[in-house]
């Protein structure tokens, strides 16, 4: 179900017109992008599933990395989601795609132009490196925005992905006579030109300039998901940097902590709104961050956590 990602990124190699430079990095718009796959059980019941968290980027030199959060699989049945995570994906949380793209000398697309592209890539999932190819329809929406979708029906087999045993386990647990071993895939992806490197610095804001409507007492419980890596005391870094004074602080600036290059170069200021975006999908806001946490799904949890951080760290 993941082989389709490779050709998607070929869309970013089209160059040649103003504002669509080859010397530019690109970021996947995780909110407006979608990866879905289908399954058929008992030979007659069709269902559609999806991954809710996808992130990715293409560097200025054409190095591609796309990550699929396997733990975000959504079948609209909680117990089935859990079984997919445990038995199909074996507890592995990430599928990774890597490729190298020639960013120069390829055919240009005008704004409003469309075409079909293909690409050879390597997908790493469940300990396997799988070479794959696919055809994708590409539409250049603006100088800095590209839409990519599957050009035709794409099918992948559970054997290729190494998940046959997991599918068999699901059949047994659900007492099903059969689940198809080939899945149809649909994909819609939007890539945006990454302008953050050229963006001017945002002036820091004081904690008093912004507030959150969350419940700090509930946020303390939400912080249990964070405290394995982060401490609230100034000068005390753990796996992650200290969160003391986080609201209104420039990103990547805690003394004594070794940040990823992506975080050091992000040039952001942690306002309430920006922290909310980051807590929802860290790798969407800052592709390349080494923070492993996938994100908080509920807006209420984010509001509560921000209220707690404002109370405890400012």
| Cα dihedral sign, 86-183-180-48 | positive
Q: Are 238 and 268 in contact (CB under 8 A)?
A: no
Rounded to whole angstroms, the maximal C-alpha distance in the chain is 61
For residue 72, pLDDT beyond 70: yes
Our measurement of the distance from residue 113's CA atom to the centroid of its chain's CA atoms, rounded to an integer in Å, reads 27
Q: Are 125 and 95 in contact (CB under 8 A)?
A: yes
Q: Are 89 and 163 in contact (CB under 8 A)?
A: yes
Question: 29-33, 101-105, 117-121, 254-258: which has the minimum mean pLDDT?
Answer: 101-105
Helix count (H) and strand count (E) of the chain?
9, 12
Q: Are 85 and 68 in contact (CB under 8 A)?
A: no
pLDDT band of 82, cuts 50, 70, 90? very high
For residue 128, pLDDT beyond 60: yes
- Alpha carbon distance 38, 73 (integer Å): 12
Query: Which domains occur in the chain, in start order?
Result: 5-194 (2.40.128.110), 197-313 (1.10.760.10)
- Alpha carbon distance 218, 228 (integer Å): 18
Greater pLDDT, 202 or 226: 226
DSSP state of 198: G
As a whole number, mean pLDDT of residues 158-186 equals: 85
pLDDT band of 241, cuts 50, 70, 90? very high
Among residues 149, 161, 152, 146, which one has the least CA distance to residue 192?
146
- Alpha carbon distance 230, 243 (integer Å): 7
For residue 99, pLDDT beyond 70: no
For residue 2, pLDDT beyond 50: no
- Alpha carbon distance 104, 83 (integer Å): 44
- Alpha carbon distance 190, 196 (integer Å): 17
Question: 12-16, 108-112, 116-120: which has the minimum mean pLDDT?
Answer: 12-16
Question: 31-35, 216-220, 308-312: which has the minimum mean pLDDT?
Answer: 31-35
Burial class (CB in 10 A: 0-12, 13-18, 19+), 265: middle
For residue 217, pLDDT beyond 60: yes
As a whole number, mean pLDDT of residues 36-49 equals: 86
Q: What integer best gives the mean pLDDT of the chain?
A: 77
DSSP-derived 3-state class of residue 282: helix
DSSP-derived 3-state class of residue 157: strand
Contacts with 75 (C-beta within 8 Å, 6 or more apart), sequence order: 47, 49, 81, 84
For residue 30, pLDDT beyond 70: yes
């Amino acid at each position: 179900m993941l082989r389709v990602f490779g050709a998607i990124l070929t869309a970013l190699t089209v160059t040649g017109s103003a504002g669509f430079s080859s010397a530019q990095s690109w970021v996947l718009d995780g909110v407006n992008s979608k990866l879905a796959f289908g399954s058929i059980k008992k030979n007659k019941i069709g269902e559609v599933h999806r991954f809710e968290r996808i992130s990715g980027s293409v560097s200025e030199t054409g190095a591609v990395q796309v990550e699929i959060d396997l733990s975000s699989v959504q079948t609209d049945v909680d117990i089935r989601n859990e079984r997919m995570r445990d038995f199909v994906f074996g507890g592995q949380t990430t599928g990774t795609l890597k490729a190298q793209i020639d960013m120069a000398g390829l055919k240009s697309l005008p704004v409003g132009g469309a075409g079909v592209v293909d690409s050879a890539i390597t997908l790493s999932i469940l300990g396997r490196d799988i070479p794959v190819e696919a055809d994708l329809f590409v539409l250049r929406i603006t100088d800095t925005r590209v839409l990519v979708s599957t050009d035709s029906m794409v099918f992948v087999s559970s054997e290729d992905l190494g998940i046959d045993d997991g599918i068999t386990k699901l059949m047994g647990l659900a007492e099903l006579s059969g689940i198809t071993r080939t899945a149809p895939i649909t994909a819609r992806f939007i890539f945006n030109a990454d302008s953050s490197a050229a963006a001017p610095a945002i002036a820091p804001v004081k904690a008093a300039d912004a507030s959150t409507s969350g419940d700090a007492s509930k946020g303390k419980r939400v912080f249990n998901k964070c405290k394995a890596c982060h401490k609230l005391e100034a000068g005390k870094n753990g796996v992650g940097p200290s969160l003391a004074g986080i609201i209104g602080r420039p990103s990547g600036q805690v003394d004594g902590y070794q940040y990823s290059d992506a975080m050091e170069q992000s040039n952001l200021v942690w306002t309430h709104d920006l922290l909310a975006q980051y807590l929802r999908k860290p790798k969407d806001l800052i592709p390349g961050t080494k923070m492993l946490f996938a994100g908080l799904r509920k807006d209420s949890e984010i509001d509560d956590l921000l209220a707690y951080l404002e109370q405890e760290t400012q």
